[in-house]
Structures are given as structure tokens and as C-alpha cells.
Structure 1
Amino acid sequence: MSLIDASAIVAIINEEPGFEEIEKRINDTKKRLYITPLVRFEAVMAISRMHIANAKGKIDRDHVIGAAREIVDDFIRAIEAKEIMIDGAIGQAALDAAAMYGKVAGHKADLNFGDCFAYAAAKVNRLPLVYKGNDFSATDLA
């Protein structure tokens, strides 16, 4: 079982450098995979921002966001990930993560809002976290 962070979803969808290793980690997990609504939101917004930044001329932002949502939802369905709802325990753990590892704490992990919630959901549910980058590797989830 693992919680998939938005960074991993975006890396795979965009075939970023190193995506094959992340994809392998997900495929090697024979048990249940999880996401949160915030992971879904972050992945959709990241993909939308990339498409908008690369667009030339006028762009229909609603269409871009809708297309990104469909791409992310298709990916989540394909890996059969179950959604974990954000509850009070996760909210409290996200505040703890921000105090310990967040931008405000000055920690080298430098977790942002979405990272703190992904960390918290993984921590509260005792799940390993699948991610891309160095932020989570500087936490106790590494």
C-alpha cells in the first residue's frame, strides 16, 4: 500500500526524467494505492499550468483545466487508486508537518501546503509515500 503524491502523478503523465522509476514503484506495488483530493487538485493544476505556460496565443483556460482533470482522473482510475478523505487527524498532522518540515520552519524539506497534506495523509494512514523530488526525502517518511 502506498500514497501517491501529485509530484509522482505529474512526472509520469509528463514523462519527466526519472518517471520510469516512479512508474515501476507504482507497478511493483501489488496492494492498494491511495491519493487524496488535494493530490488530485495539485496534479490537475500543475498540468494545467504547464499547458498554459507552453501555449502560444489565446487559450481557453477552462478547456485546459477540464482536459487536465480528465488526464489525471484517467491515470488515477488506471492505477485503481482509492481516495482518502481529509479529516481532522490529517489536518492536525499537516499542521505538525508544516511546523517541523514546512517552509515556515526553515527545514531543508521546505514542504509547501500540498506537500504537508500528502505527508500528513501518509503519516496518519501509515503508508509509504511515492513522490518525485528531494522534499520528502528530507523527512522521516524517506
Structure 2
Amino acid sequence: MIYVDASAIVAMILGEPDAADLASTLDEGESAITSPLAIYEASLAIARVNAIPAAIARDEVHLTLSRMSIAVAPIDEGQGHVAVSVFDRFGKGRHPAALNMGDCFAYACAAVHDARILFKGQDFSQTDLPSARSGP
């Protein structure tokens, strides 16, 4: 299973240089999930970049998730507990990964679902969470 972080969703929707590589990781047939928090983060980022209302960006995110067969996994209390522990280990001001709240919940969701994480950037590469990408 693959957990798709907000950073990967944004990159694919905005057509960033590594969008095709990110999408090809999802084309390998493995099931993929994301979370409501990732949808929120991606929607706000896309709204900001494209100067559109967040609700329109959210609709674009949902359409993309549907087209790519990415399911939305709920966030529960257990993931909240895991996210707090993740912050203690890898959080901003505590570790070079400097995970923020959204990152801590992404890590928690991936860990709880025993999923590799698909992301853009360097933050998760500084944790012990396995990456869904074969390359750097």
C-alpha cells in the first residue's frame, strides 16, 4: 500500500517537473490512500498557487484522487496518538526532518496502514518511513 502525501498530490495536479514520476509510482498497481488532512493541505496549496477559491481547488483534488483510484482513509484517535509520538521523534525543532503537524499525521496514517509514503521534498527521507519511490 502507498500513502500519498499532500506534497505529491500538489505536484501531480500542478504538473511540477516530477509529476510524471510521482504518477508512475501509482501506476504500478499497488493500492493507494490519502487522508482528509492531506486533501485539506493540497487544496489550500493549489488555491494559493492558482489564486482560486479553496473549494474549487478541493474539487480538483477530489477529481484527481478519483481518477487515480486513491482512496481516502479516515483519521482516528489512534493516528492522533501516533502523530504525537512522531512529533517527539521527528518534529520541527526536535529533528532535522522538522515534520510539521500535517507531516506528522501523514507519517501516522502511513505507519498505521503499513504503507510506504509517496512525497515530494526531503522531510520524510530523514525519517524511518519507507518511501514509495524507487529513486531519490
For residue 77 of structure 1, the aligned residue among 52, 58, 66 is 66
Aligned equivalent of 2:114:
126
Does residue 46 (structure 1) correspond to residue 18 (structure 2)? The answer is no
- The structure in which a higher percent of residues are helix is 1
Query: 1:38: how far off?
Result: 0.3
Counterpart-to-counterpart distance in 1, 2:33 and 2:41? 15
TM-score with structure 2 setting the length: 0.91
Q: Counterpart of 1:5?
A: 5
Distance of 1:83 and 1:101 partners within structure 2: 25
* SS of 1:120 mapped into structure 2: helix
Query: What residue number does 2:133 align with?
Result: none
Map 1:1-142 → 2, pairs under 5 A: 1-28=1-28, 30-52=29-51, 64-105=53-94, 107-142=95-130
The two structures, once aligned, show a CA RMSD in angstroms of 1.1
User: What is the CA deviation profile of residues 84-121 of structure 1, one whole-angstrom value per residue up to 9, with x for unaligned ones?
Assistant: 1111110011001111101031x111111100000000
Q: CA deviation at 1:64?
A: 1.8
1:20 offset after TM fit, Å?
Answer: 1.6
Structure 1: which 4+ aligned runs deviate by more than 6 Å?
none
TM normalised by structure 1 equals 0.87
**Counterpart contact for 1:34–1:82, Cα < 8 Å:** yes
> Deviation per CA, 1:22-72, whole angstroms, max 9, x where unpaired?
1111111x13210111011111011011123xxxxxxxxxx6212201110
**Alpha-carbon distance in 2 for matches of 1:38, 1:75:** 16
Identity of aligned residues (%): 37
Higher alpha-carbon Rg = 1
Cα distance between partner residues in 1 of 2:15 and 2:57: 15
